[in-house]
């Protein structure tokens, strides 16, 4: 298991900020749950509204690209750009701050280390 820290979170936010600071997005959308943390931080740093749904010409963020199922829903939004903190697949149309092996389990700073094994087991059971 790989436990990420709040310092790493700040580094990720700063990296995305630098890539997006001169772009004219309408707002920032983050997929619940983990994407919301990134979206709030980027909304503040980029001085953009936090969106309640993904839309054209928006910055879209999520904590992880795992199966791709979540992000495939917004792939074709015009003028939008998608960033994730961690990707388990080599990025093609999305951007990733960190790329890891597909079998590595990530614990984000807002998640409970004490429940990580339970979360992992539930996740894998949901994929069967």
Domain spans, the chain: 2-126
Residue 60 has a pLDDT of: 98
What's domain 2-126's architecture? 3-Layer(aba) Sandwich (3.40)
Residue 94 has a pLDDT of: 96
Can you list the residues of the chain whose pLDDT is less than 50?
A: none
- pTM of the complete model: 0.90
Residue 58 has a pLDDT of: 98
Q: What is the distance between the alpha carbons of residues 71 and 50, in angstroms, rounded to a whole number?
A: 18
Q: What is the distance between the alpha carbons of residues 79 and 108, in angstroms, rounded to a whole number?
A: 29
């Amino acid at each position: 298991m790989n436990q990420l820290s709040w310092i790493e979170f700040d580094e990720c936010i700063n990296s995305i900020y630098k890539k997006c600071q001169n772009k004219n997005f309408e707002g920032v959308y983050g997929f619940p749950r983990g994407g919301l943390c990134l979206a709030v931080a980027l909304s503040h740093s980029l001085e953009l509204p936090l969106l309640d749904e993904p839309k054209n010409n928006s910055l879209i963020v999520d904590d992880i690209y795992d199966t791709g199922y979540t992000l495939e829903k917004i792939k074709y939004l015009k003028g939008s750009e998608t960033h994730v903190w961690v990707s388990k697949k080599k990025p093609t149309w999305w951007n990733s701050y960190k790329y890891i092996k597909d079998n590595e389990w990530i614990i984000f700073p807002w998640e409970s280390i004490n429940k990580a094994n339970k979360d992992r087991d539930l996740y894998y059971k949901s994929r069967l």
